[in-house]
């Protein structure tokens, strides 16, 4: 209420300078033009298939590429976090002095679970199957 | 998704192929991140997350688009969707430029679900104009077309004559038995009453009266022909003639009846006088007064 001025709502944190409001209009408009050349890893047909199942009919193929790129980034962010976890576990014992941590990293559920927990996704897999 | 069944429909294959592509994509992303290998459960988890992430973006973007009374989603809808899902949109261009060095794998799937050609029979009906082209085709015509077949009726003359004769006999027999059951009967044999019942004859006080008087049908016919040939005056002339036949002697009645009979077209008057059974009388046609 007090933060209302000029009819524009400014969050309380903005006055202190903690939160920077994003005032830009979609910066991706320019990015979308560049996207015509770049092909994401996920094929357009596959992304389009899952979008159609959700009811999303894309008029512009660049929109599909944008979505597939966003999904890719989502997964690779998680993968990077899991890699950090894996590296922390490996070098926590201080063996990096003798030999550098072997370059072979294996993604296990023990690394993936805390990485997902930061995103608010809780996975519980049974340790063994009877 | 089929559980433990080994046979999958073409639609299932279609779905599974895309799922496999997603797995390949996840594997390539993990390789790009620096992993050499991964647990199967971890790859499955990430694949499931990727699929549901794409579906959720699609659903949410569509909802935002429809929220503003539009049907075609635009870039703004997707940006809002990504922001709502906690995705930092500003980092997206940087990511795109960074990963351009990644090898692009996962060729798209080309198979489409197709019904086997061997099972189709006949020409499928084409779409009427009010049905869009991307809808599935009509099924085979034998599934909904019904062609009734008729047995040709028997037209053999002998068979038909036999049938007509036996039908007539059965009808006569049934009717006479009905009359016997409902009316008075006289038995042919002294002891046995029920075997051959005969319709009891009703004795008249004056037995020859019915033989002498014309039947009702005769009188109708006489009236019809008289009215068609002559005027109304001659009708009234004939009427007293009919009335007078009751009073005159039997010979005169016979003669007058015979005269009237010969003046008419030939008809079976002799038999009509004998038949009293209402079911065996000929059909009485309604009076037709022809206009002059």
Structure tokens of A121? 């996704």
Q: How far off is chain A from B92, nearest CA to CA, in Å?
A: 7
Longest dimension (CA), chain A: 65
Question: Cβ of A115 under 8 Å from any chain B Cβ?
Answer: no
Q: Searching chain A, which residue's CA lies closest to the CA of residue B41?
A: A109
CB of B53 within 8 Å of any CB in chain A?
A: yes
Chain B residues inside the 8 Å CB shell of A109: 39, 41-42, 45
Kindly determine whether residue A109 and residue B39, on different chains, have CB atoms separated by under 8 Å: yes
Per-residue pLDDT reduced to its tens digit, A64-122: 988 988 998 999 899 989 988 888 887 666 555 555 556 778 888 888 888 888 888 88
A114 belongs to a structural domain: yes
pTM for the model = 0.53
Q: ∠ CA A46-B110-B123 to the nearest 5 degrees?
A: 120
Nearest CA in chain B to A68: B54
Residues from chain A contacting residue B50 (CB–CB below 8 Å): 71, 74-75
CB A108 within 8 A of CB B39: yes
ipTM beyond cut 0.85: no
Condensed to tens digits (0 to 9), the pLDDT of residues A13-64 reads 555 555 555 545 556 777 777 777 777 888 888 899 899 999 998 888 888 9
Dist CA A30 CA A35 (whole Å):
9
Q: Is residue A6 part of a domain?
A: no
Residue B102 has pLDDT above 80, yes or no: no
Per-residue pLDDT at A1 exceeds 70: no
Residue A4 lies in a domain: no
Structural domain contains residue B58 = yes
Please report whether residue A49 resides in a domain. yes
B180, B205, B224 - which closes a domain: B224
Q: Return the closest-CA partner of residue B28 out of A92, A68, A13, A119.
A: A68
Q: Which residue has the higher pLDDT, B174 or A33?
A: B174
pLDDT, greater one: A102 or B87: B87
Domain boundary among B224, B247, B270: B224
Q: What is the DSSP string of B121-154?
A: -SPPPPPPTTS-TTSPPP--GGGT------PPPP
- Cβ neighbours of A38 in B, within 8 Å: 96, 100
- A78 falls within a domain: yes
B residues 26-45 lying closer than 8 A (beta carbon) to A: 26, 28-30, 32-39, 41-43, 45
Q: Give me the pLDDT at residue B240, please.
A: 47
Using a CB–CB cutoff of 8 Å, tell me whether A109 touches chain B.
yes
Closest Cβ opposite residue A79 in set B33, B74, B82: B33
Give ∠ CA A127-B1-B5 in degrees, rounded to 5: 85
B107–A27 C-beta distance less than 8 A:
no
The boundaries of the domain holding residue A78 are 27-91+106-119
Which of A 19-78 lie inside 8 A of B, CB atoms? 22, 26-29, 31-32, 34-35, 38-47, 49-59, 63, 66-76, 78
Q: Do B59 and A59 touch (CB under 8 A)?
A: no
Establish if B184 belongs to a structural domain. yes
The pLDDT confidence band at residue B115, using thresholds 50, 70 and 90, is low
Task: Write the secondary structure of B40-87 as one string of H (helix), E (strand) and C (coil).
Answer: HHHHHHHHHHHHHHHHHHHHHHHHHHHHCCCCCCCHHHHHHHHHHCCC
Q: Lowest mean pLDDT: which of A19-33, A38-52, B24-38, B56-70?
A: A19-33
Q: Write down which residue in B97, B112, B131 finishes a domain.
A: B97
β-strand A4-5 against B37-38: which pairing, if any?
unpaired
How large is the average pLDDT for residues B81-98?
84
Give yes or no for a contact between B33 and A79, defined as CB atoms under 8 angstroms apart.
yes
Total domains in chain A come to 1
Look up residue B185 and give its DSSP letter: E
Q: Provide, as residue numbers in chain A, all residues whose Cβ is less than 8 Å from the Cβ of B26.
A: 75
Query: In this structure, is residue B17 part of a structural domain?
Result: yes
Cβ distance of A55 and B43 shorter than 8 Å: no
Q: Would you say residue B264 has pLDDT above 50?
A: no
Instruction: Tell me whether residue B233 is in a domain.
Output: no
Question: Is A31 within the bounds of a domain?
Answer: yes
Separation between Cα atoms, residue B96 and residue B133, nearest integer Å: 38
Using CA coordinates, name the residue in chain B closest to A55.
B59
Residues spanned by the domain of B54: 10-97
Say if CB B97 and CB B69 are below 8 A apart.
no
State the first-to-last Cα distance of chain A, in angstroms, to the nearest integer. 59
In chain B, the percentage of residues whose pLDDT exceeds 70 is 68
Question: Is residue B137, in this structure, part of any structural domain at all?
Answer: no
pLDDT of B46 strictly over 50? yes
Domain count across chain B: 2
* Residue to test with chain B: of A32, A35, A40, A46, most B Cβ within 10 A: A46
In a domain, A69, yes or no: yes
Residue A51 forms part of a structural domain: yes
User: Could you report how far apart the first and last alpha carbons of chain B are, in Å?
Assistant: 89
Any domain includes B115: no
Q: Which residues of B touch A106 (CB under 8 A)?
A: 35-39
Q: Are strands B185-187 and B197-199 parallel, antiparallel or unpaired?
A: antiparallel
CATH number at residue B81: 1.10.20.10
């Amino acid at each position: 209420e007090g933060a209302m001025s000029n009819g524009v709502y400014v969050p309380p944190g903005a006055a202190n300078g903690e939160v920077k409001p994003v005032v830009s209009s979609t910066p991706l408009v320019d990015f979308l033009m560049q996207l015509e050349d770049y092909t994401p890893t996920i094929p357009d047909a596959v992304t389009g298939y899952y979008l159609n199942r959700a009811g999303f009919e894309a008029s512009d193929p660049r929109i599909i590429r944008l979505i597939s790129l966003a999904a890719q980034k989502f997964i690779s962010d998680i993968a990077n976090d899991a890699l950090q976890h894996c590296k922390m576990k490996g070098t926590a014992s201080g063996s990096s002095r003798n030999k550098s941590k072997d370059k072979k990293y294996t993604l296990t559920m023990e690394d993936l679970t805390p990485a997902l927990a930061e995103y608010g996704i809780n996975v519980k897999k049974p340790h063994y199957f009877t | 998704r089929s559980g433990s069944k080994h046979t999958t429909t073409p639609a299932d294959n279609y779905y599974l192929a895309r799922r496999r592509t997603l797995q390949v994509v996840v594997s390539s992303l993990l390789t790009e991140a620096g992993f050499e290998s991964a647990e199967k459960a971890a790859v499955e988890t990430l694949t499931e997350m990727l699929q549901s992430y794409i579906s959720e973006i699609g659903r949410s973007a569509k909802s935002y688009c429809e929220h503003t009374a539009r049907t075609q989603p635009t870039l703004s809808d997707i940006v809002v969707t990504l922001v709502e899902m906690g995705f930092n949109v500003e980092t997206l261009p940087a990511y795109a430029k960074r990963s351009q060095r990644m090898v692009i794998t996962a060729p798209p799937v080309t198979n489409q679900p197709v019904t086997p050609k061997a099972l189709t029979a006949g020409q499928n009906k084409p779409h009427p104009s009010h049905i869009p082209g991307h809808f599935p085709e009509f099924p085979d015509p034998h599934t909904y077309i019904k062609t009734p077949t008729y047995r040709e009726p028997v037209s053999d003359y002998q068979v038909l004559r036999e049938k007509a004769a036996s039908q007539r006999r059965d009808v006569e027999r049934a009717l006479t038995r009905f009359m016997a059951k409902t009316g008075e009967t006289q038995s042919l044999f002294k002891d046995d009453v029920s075997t051959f019942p005969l319709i009891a004859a009703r004795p008249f006080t004056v037995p020859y009266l019915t033989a002498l008087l014309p039947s009702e049908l005769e009188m109708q016919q006489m009236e019809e022909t008289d009215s068609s040939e002559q005027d109304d005056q001659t009708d009234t002339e004939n009427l007293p003639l009919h009335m007078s036949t009751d009073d005159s002697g039997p010979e005169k009645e016979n003669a007058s009846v015979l005269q009237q009979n010969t003046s008419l077209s030939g008809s079976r008057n002799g038999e009509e006088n004998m038949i009293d059974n209402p079911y065996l009388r000929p059909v009485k046609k309604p009076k037709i007064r022809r206009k002059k």
